[in-house]
Chains A and B, each alone.
Chain A
Amino acid sequence: MAQAEAVDSVVDKQPVIEVRDAVKRYGVGDASIFALDGVSLTIEAGEYVAIMGPSGSGKSTLMNILGALDIMTSGKYFLDGIEISSMDENHLSIVRGRKIGFIFQSFNLIPRTTALANVELPMAYQGIKPKERRARAMVALDVVGLGDRINHEPTELSGGQQQRVAVARALATRPALLLADEPTGALDSKSTADLLDLFDQINAAGRTVVVITHEDDVAHRAKRIIRMRDGKIISDKLNEERVA
């Protein structure tokens, strides 16, 4: 393990996320609103970062841009060393599939489709052979503790279980970055605790995790907390209780 980290630090010099002067403006002229007003941010591999802020602070916009779901008005964005701020939609879809694992507040599983098929889907779009992706999907579902529910459709699963399917789907592609947008927003406290334990476990295995949330207890599980307000980062510090 120590050896692997040493190799990582040599080979993987570049950060997972490097954002420079990100600006996202809606509307034009006097009526325009800056959702992001010059945000610069660097996240290294293996970090566990929480981005916090009230509604309208720009955290969701930042999340959409980090996830390559939206484009910024100006600024540069490097994801795992690749500049994606200038990519077209077709290349972005490839980047999303290979580099990013999404977890959404509303789970966003494909309806009327089994858990296994849902987890396999991103790998199918990447062109991974059915045999291999089935094996990887089974492993991922085992990791999140749903190995016995692979043939259940989303409506047959509880909220917590659906979110764990989403986590399995995100993990199965072995992304550089796990990006979670209010992942516990629709969960009860027991499911929330389970999910946060799962995130700890994933991060402990070396995966970079970025969680966007407005809940303090979720944020405090992260090792680094970034606070936003009015489209700007107002504080960015390590979470002493976790790092220490």
Chain B
Amino acid sequence: MSVFEIIRFAIRGLFTNRLRTALTTLGIMIGVASVIILLAVGNGSSKAIQASLDRLGTNSLQVRSGGGGFGPRARASASSQKPLTILDTVALADKTQAPDIKQVAPIVSTNGTCVVGANTSTPSTFYGTWPAYYEASNTSIQKGSYFTNDDVTNARRVALIGQTTATALFGTSNPIGQTMRCSGIEFTVIGLTSVKGASGFQDGDSLVLIPITTMENTITGNQALSSILVEATKSTTTTAAQSELTTILDARHGITGRKTADFSVFNQASLLTTASTSSQTFTTLLGMVAAISLLVGGIGITNIMLVTVIERTREIGIRKAIGAPKAAILTQFLIEATILSLLGGALGVVAGLIGSHFTIAGTKPVIVPASVFLAFGVSILIGVFFGGYPASRAASLRPIEALRYE
């Protein structure tokens, strides 16, 4: 008796019980599809967190004036504090002393209100800086153009504004080329930045950026920097970059110990670690839910196979009475289970791939390729294993016992 023949018996067996076949296939299909989709949702949300962190600029470090602490100690050291300067910034850009620093941008921050006609807006971020800032802070231009080193050198009165500020000042009209008055100084808007989204409590799009020279000359009037934005070469080198810049600034400011430091460094990599840990937990949780649904699908197969065997005990008895060897019966039932799980698994993969194209709970799912193979493989293993047990029970029946079964 050839295997081909047994496969034909198995297929005929599946076809004579269409409803049962369809329901079992559906069970496995749902299991497999849910594994793929849930893992894709978990993965998608962790990718989304990653992306928003990238947008914040995870490679970046911020150096601010002042020690790490507040209160009496901070005040006591205030007399000996040296402010951050442009020269500090230039020193940090030294590639030989700080190989892990890609670029640095000085920041002079101020508070001011911008006015256009009757519209006013107080940007939460109002910075004077230079072009290195764009990349270090992941700021890009949606419309118009950046201000250039030439604009900085000549202290031109040009500004980039964020979406929130643009809407507040200009409504729906195109802000490029228009003028606004900020802190009493008139600026020409030359660029509109792309949407950054909120970071923490701050609206990243409530933004005005002007050349640092313009800021110093017309608004703040002094040379002290609020902070220096430092971009490391990679997200993995931020720690190295941090120690390099600390060494350089310590030397320049004559700092001997951390307690007397007159600057502090803020690192966004630590934020990334926390966020990715929490998103991994989320993915694991979803994966477990999915695994349970796959297991339930597997129990479904076992159940159906058991029922099938019991329902067909008489048929098995007849087959054995007319000379079917144990192996033929076992193989037939195993092949039936395998075809069921293969079919269900394949349909589940298709459903999973289709389902992952939709946005689920506000998350764009990103398929984890391994999950497809895993779910498909597990569904087949479950089919063969859980289908094999009832099959071997059926095949071991004495024909007389099987025939007496009603």
Residues of A within 8 A of B5 (CB): 124
B274 on the interface (CB 8 Å rule)? Answer: no
Contact check: which of A89, A121, A126, A169 meets B326 at CB < 8 Å? A89
**Residues B321 and A67 in contact, CB atoms below 8 Å apart:** yes
Known contacts A110-B315, A113-B12; decide if A98 and B398 are in contact (CB<8 Å): no
By beta carbon, the residue of chain B nearest A67 is: B321
> What are the residues of chain A within 8 A of B12 when measuring CB–CB?
113
B370 at the interface (CB under 8 A from A): no
B325 touches A94 (CB 8 A): yes
Residue B352 lies at the interface, judged by CB distance under 8 Å to chain A: no
CB contacts under 8 Å to B, within A87-136, are: 89-90, 93-94, 96-98, 102, 104, 108-113, 121-122, 124-127
- B361 at interface (Cβ–Cβ under 8 A)? no
Chain B residues near A64 (CB, 8 Å)? 400
User: Is B79's CB within 8 Å of the partner chain A?
Assistant: no
Which residues from B are CB-within-8-Å of A108? 314, 317-318, 321, 403
Q: Are B325 and A93 in contact (CB under 8 A)?
A: yes
Residues of A within 8 A of B314 (CB): 108
Q: Contacts A90-B326, A93-B324 known; A69 to B315 CB distance under 8 Å?
A: no
Task: Point out the residue from B16, B317, B324, B403 that lies within 8 Å of A125, measured CB to CB.
Answer: B324
B87 located at the interface, meaning its Cβ lies under 8 Å from any Cβ of chain A in the complex = no
Roughly how many angstroms separate A47 CA and B315 CA in the complex, as a whole number?
Answer: 31
Known contacts A108-B403, A124-B5, A127-B2, A93 near B323 by CB under 8 Å: yes
Q: Which residues of the partner chain B approach A96 to less than 8 Å between Cβ atoms? A: 320-323, 399
Tell which of A67, A109, A110 has the most Cβ of chain B within 10 Å: A110
For residue B18, give the distance in angstroms from its CB to the closest CB of chain A. Answer: 11
Assess whether B323 is in contact with A97, with CB atoms less than 8 Å apart: yes
Given A93-B325, A93-B326 in contact, is the A110-B400 Cβ separation under 8 Å? no
Residues in B whose Cβ lies below 8 Å from that of A94: 323, 325
Q: Which residues of A contact B315 (CB under 8 A)?
A: 110-111
How big is the A interface, by class?
Answer: 20 to 34
How far, in angstroms, from A125 to B1 measured CA to CA in the complex?
5
Which residues of chain B are within 8 angstroms of A113 by Cβ–Cβ distance?
12, 16
A124 to B7, CA, bound (A): 13
Contact among A67, A89, A110, A173 with B318 in the assembled complex (CB-CB below 8 Å): A110
A122 surroundings in chain B (CB, below 8 A): 322-323
Give the residues in chain B near A124, CB-CB below 8 Å: 1, 5
B82 within 8 A of A: no
CA distance A29 to B398 in the complex (A): 24
In whole angstroms, how far apart are the Cα atoms of A122 and B5 in the complex? 12
B108 in contact (CB, < 8 A) = no
Residue of B nearest to A126 (CB): B323
The interface bits of chain A over 153-179 (1 if a CB of B lies within 8 angstroms of the residue's CB, else 0) are 000000000000000010001000000
Closest to A65 in B: B400
Partner of A102, one of B16, B322, B325, B398: B322
Q: Which residue of B lies closest to A153 (CB)?
A: B16
Contact A121-B1, Cβ < 8 Å, known A69-B400, A69-B403, A89-B326: no
B196 interface contact, C-beta 8 A: no
B362 nearest CB across to chain A (Å)? 50
Q: Which residue of A lies closest to B406 (CB)?
A: A106
Q: Which 8 pairs, one residue from A and one from B, show the smallest C-beta to C-beta distance?
A: A97-B323, A122-B322, A112-B16, A69-B400, A70-B400, A108-B318, A93-B325, A125-B323
Interface residues of B (CB under 8 A from A): 1-2, 5, 12, 16, 314-315, 317-328, 398-400, 403
Task: Report 28 cross-chain contacts, Cβ distance below 8 Å, ordered by A residue.
Answer: A64-B400, A69-B400, A89-B326, A89-B398, A90-B326, A90-B327, A93-B323, A93-B324, A96-B320, A96-B321, A97-B324, A98-B323, A102-B322, A110-B318, A111-B315, A112-B16, A121-B322, A122-B322, A122-B323, A124-B5, A125-B1, A125-B323, A125-B325, A126-B1, A126-B323, A127-B1, A127-B2, A173-B323
